[in-house]
């Protein structure tokens, strides 16, 4: 076991080995192979290339080096193309703070039977008079960025459940196609970094 695997329980370490093909003996070599591909995309500013960060993407792609690099590139490309989304991305930002207070997202204290963190969103709870859809998306992205630091979550993943029942036409009218595309692209990259995104 390397220092990069120190945060994993014995059960999760075994799961990483069996399901993700994580090998402690080749871990640093795997990370370096992904890092070596960065020069192939000079159009993207890779702001983090440390071992722990790259390991997230390897885990998300079951240690397929090319797919892990592709996901890493998509991650930074999304950030680069949507700079305003990531400006002052902190829980103290007024819009993000209000969205978080209203449960966007709600994070359950219990894990599911696979060890995944469960996030829930009740779309009808969106109070448009206090914060925007972009504030909700930023709150979700901030939450996911924070949670993915946990090595257990990198292996086990999370599940995001969105309940659209009682979502009104008035609320829906505030969602432009460009906003929806922004949300789908942002959530898609992050959900690919873990395990699952569900709609209900």
Cα separation, 65 vs 97, whole angstroms: 37
Per-residue confidence (pLDDT) for residue 197, from 0 to 100: 45
Q: Are strands 106-111 and 158-163 parallel, antiparallel or unpaired?
A: unpaired
| Element at 81 (helix H, strand E) | helix 65-81
- Provide the edge-to-edge strand list for the sheet that holds 106-111: 106-111, 117-122, 158-163, 196-199
Per-residue confidence (pLDDT) for residue 22, from 0 to 100: 96
Structure tokens at 114: 């696979």
Per-residue confidence (pLDDT) for residue 172, from 0 to 100: 83
Cα torsion 71, 76, 81, 82 to 10°: value is 100
Per-residue confidence (pLDDT) for residue 190, from 0 to 100: 63
Q: How do residues 132-151 score in pLDDT, each as one tens digit?
A: 999 999 999 999 999 999 99
Residues of the chain with pLDDT under 70: 190-200
Cα separation, 73 vs 34, whole angstroms: 11
Q: Which residue has the tokens 């966007």?
A: 104
Q: Among residues 170, 187, 199, 80, which one has the least CA distance to residue 136?
A: 187
Cα separation, 58 vs 155, whole angstroms: 10
Q: What is the DSSP string of 14-41?
A: HHHHHHS---TTTHHHHHHHHHHGGGG-
Per-residue confidence (pLDDT) for residue 1, from 0 to 100: 74
Cα separation, 30 vs 22, whole angstroms: 9
């Amino acid at each position: 076991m390397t220092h990069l695997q120190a945060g994993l329980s014995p059960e999760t370490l075994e799961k990483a080995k069996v399901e993700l093909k994580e090998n402690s003996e080749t871990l640093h070599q795997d990370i370096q192979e992904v890092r070596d591909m960065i020069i192939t995309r000079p159009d993207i500013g890779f702001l983090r290339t440390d071992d722990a960060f790259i390991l997230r993407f390897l885990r998300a792609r079951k240690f397929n080096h090319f797919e892990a690099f592709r996901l890493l590139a998509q991650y930074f490309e999304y950030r680069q193309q949507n700079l305003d989304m990531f400006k002052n991305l902190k829980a103290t930002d007024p819009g993000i703070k209000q969205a978080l207070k209203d449960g966007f997202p709600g994070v359950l204290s219990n894990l599911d039977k696979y060890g995944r963190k469960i996030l829930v969103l009740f779309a009808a709870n969106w109070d448009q008079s206090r914060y925007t859809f972009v504030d909700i998306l930023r709150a979700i992205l901030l939450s996911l960025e924070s949670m993915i630091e946990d090595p257990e979550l990198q292996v086990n993943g999370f599940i995001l459940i969105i309940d659209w029942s009682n979502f009104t036409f008035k609320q829906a009218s505030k969602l432009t196609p460009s906003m929806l595309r922004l949300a789908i692209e942002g959530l898609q990259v992050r959900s690919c970094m873990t395990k699952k995104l569900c709609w209900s």
